[in-house]
A and B are shown apart, each in its own frame.
Chain A
């Protein structure tokens, strides 16, 4: 024993080995052709997938391409020598020639041993009688399906070029393809067959548009050169061709061909493997019908679509697309997720900012509109309060002007108009006209539409200005306005005209309140004073005062105790005051009457 074995384990004591399943596998041509490699790999995998016994495979090769049956005799004698004392359980024949060889020599080599074949093209066995204990699967070559697929992918195609070689198999296959093309019928069939490789390539390169190529097989060219595995002519035909090149054999796809309809070679091998397995396990091969398996499938190579600029929408729905570059999603799932998350977050952030900005702008617009609306209502309210006063102030000079002019006219008619009198009259007219326009200008400042810009202002000055508007009205009502201004009043920030409007509304209210009082009591006090953090204006009267139940509703719009009042005044007063950050309050005067206090914050508080 050349090496030590664990105690108790003697080499001679090894348990009797169960006989393996011995399988002779006869290959055809060069075993390294892709179709052979793919098929046999799948076959072995299926055959040896967890079998009941060890499966021992004895590979044999028949190079029918080069030698045909010429060396059969020597081959048989060699095999007889090899398998003389050996019990073989199964012969697998991969291809037409191996099947024929096995059937021919089974009696002398492996008598009674079942044969399972595969890799035989459907139609290749035409006229052949199945021997006993023999079964297998054949391969469908679906050239017709490939033509239909080509017509779909290249809708403008009117012709198809079959590219084929010079071997027997090439010719057999071309013959079958031609029959199928005739059955398909929609395309003119042209042939580039049996030529040398160089000539084949040259002719392929010369193919005009509105056609496509179906590459069949080219095991051997006109010079007799046999194509080596993996260095086939297909890639060269593809690179030479300006029109799409389709394949009719599964393993040709992925080597440059655009598409094809064919039985999958690996699947075919797997089916054959399973079949062999069941025969090994005791199935009766004669009971298993020979059939073509699997059914062809349609496959399209994405690279081909790209190479010949064929839109993906031309691909029939039933076809699968191989070699499609993985999408960004497939390649970079997590980075993409992260990227998208970032983009989404960013979008959310940006849109929320945009929405925020828009909201703010809308709010600003609304606030500006509200401001404008307030200014309008405040104007209306002030106009209402000043109606009588305005009419008087304007109509007084207008009346004087009219009368003066008409007096002059009358005197002129009577011939009594003297130059000196005329001069006096004209001077009076001018004076009155100026008086009227002054009033109008003053009113326009108070009531005109304008942009409201907050400025620092002196409350005393604005109250005095408000009282100027009211002086005439007050005099005519017989109301005495008594201002008491404090020099300590701080400046406030706001719209001077609106502050004037507040004072006017309050004073007009007060004048209305004392309107029915005896003349001595028709007095309104207007006082300014400094209070903590601001300026205060006080308007007080000794009118009848408010009923207690009215006090609560005092500053609501539409509240009015006057017959012809709209009830805007105090509501406006409060709104304007609050917009200036101030407040307005009311308290009863003693012994009767009202006191209104309007407080505005000082500038900078």
Chain B
């Protein structure tokens, strides 16, 4: 196999109670340019620091203690969870379905050809990289939005709702001039030059789970 260095190199957390298998996988991962971290059990992994990225988790389905599926559940509750790849000596259909439904990148069966393994890891790392980049942007947008005053947020809600300044000042019982000033501050703080751009940012924020202030009822 021509082991081209991974397109996306990253950290691979290998959670498997079988030391021989861990070792073998680790060799493959190192040769492919990844950084393997080995854990013998789910608890061990949950207790470890894995804030770095990009990374993914290579998880055995059945292990002593909490099973792979249980660990996946615990990870899903975390904010900053890395993508999970299941790998198992014997995958029954119900476990596979459950794992995939809960967001696993893939479900591999031992013995797994290295090409398949590395391709899957590549996808997982790319996914993790995108997720991290997206997280960075979302936190940036949240900071921008946090910088707005309550009044400015109301004006922003009016602007992205497609209302004219006159309609906004009528609803907010403010002078049109004041509304114009707020609107300019919103565009400046949100770092946008057009209303269209502002609308897109607002959608991104909402998609990331941020609740935007609405216009008061008339």
Contact of A406 among B21, B87, B114 (CB under 8 A): B114
A388 pairs with B90, CB closer than 8 A: yes
Mark out the residues of chain B between 63 and 80 whose CB falls within 8 Å of any chain A CB in the assembled complex: 63-67
A478 and B63 alpha carbons, distance in the complex (Å): 7
Closest chain-A Cβ to B4's Cβ sits at a distance in Å of 9
| Chain B binding surface, main DSSP class | loop
> Nearest A residue to B29 by beta-carbon distance?
A407
A432 and B24 alpha carbons, distance in the complex (Å): 11
Contact of B62 among A401, A408, A476 (CB under 8 A): A476
A403 pairs with B114, CB closer than 8 A: yes
Q: Known: A395-B109, A396-B21, A399-B24. Is A478-B89 also a contact (CB below 8 A)?
A: no
Closest chain-A Cβ to B159's Cβ sits at a distance in Å of 54
For A477, the chain B residues whose CB sits under 8 A away are 62
Interface residues of B, count at CB 8 A: 32
> Nearest B residue to A435 by beta-carbon distance?
B20
A409 and B24 alpha carbons, distance in the complex (Å): 12
Contact of A413 among B3, B90, B110 (CB under 8 A): B3
B112 pairs with A402, CB closer than 8 A: yes
| Chain A binding surface, main DSSP class | helix
A478 pairs with B65, CB closer than 8 A: yes
B90 pairs with A391, CB closer than 8 A: yes
For A273, the chain B residues whose CB sits under 8 A away are none
Judge if A453 is at the interface, Cβ distance under 8 Å.
no
Judge if B25 is at the interface, Cβ distance under 8 Å.
yes
Q: Known: A391-B90, A397-B20, A402-B111. Is A478-B67 also a contact (CB below 8 A)?
A: yes
Judge if A431 is at the interface, Cβ distance under 8 Å.
yes
Judge if B98 is at the interface, Cβ distance under 8 Å.
no
Interface residues of A, count at CB 8 A: 37
Judge if A392 is at the interface, Cβ distance under 8 Å.
yes
Mark out the residues of chain B between 94 and 149 whose CB falls within 8 Å of any chain A CB in the assembled complex: 109-114, 117
A408 and B32 alpha carbons, distance in the complex (Å): 11
Contact of B66 among A393, A428, A519 (CB under 8 A): A519
Q: Known: A395-B111, A414-B3. Is A388-B65 also a contact (CB below 8 A)?
A: no
Interface hub of A410, A435, A519 (most chain B Cβ within 10 A): A410
Judge if B176 is at the interface, Cβ distance under 8 Å.
no
Judge if A398 is at the interface, Cβ distance under 8 Å.
yes
For A391, the chain B residues whose CB sits under 8 A away are 89-90
B113 pairs with A392, CB closer than 8 A: no
A369 and B62 alpha carbons, distance in the complex (Å): 40
Closest chain-A Cβ to B41's Cβ sits at a distance in Å of 10
A400 pairs with B18, CB closer than 8 A: yes
For B25, the chain A residues whose CB sits under 8 A away are 403
Judge if A440 is at the interface, Cβ distance under 8 Å.
no
For B210, the chain A residues whose CB sits under 8 A away are none
Judge if A411 is at the interface, Cβ distance under 8 Å.
yes
For B194, the chain A residues whose CB sits under 8 A away are none
Give me 9 A-to-B residue pairs in the complex whose CB atoms sit less than 8 angstroms apart, sorted by A's number: A396-B110, A398-B110, A400-B111, A403-B27, A403-B111, A410-B31, A425-B27, A476-B63, A477-B62
| 5 nearest A-B residue pairs (beta carbon) | A391-B90, A399-B110, A410-B3, A407-B27, A476-B62
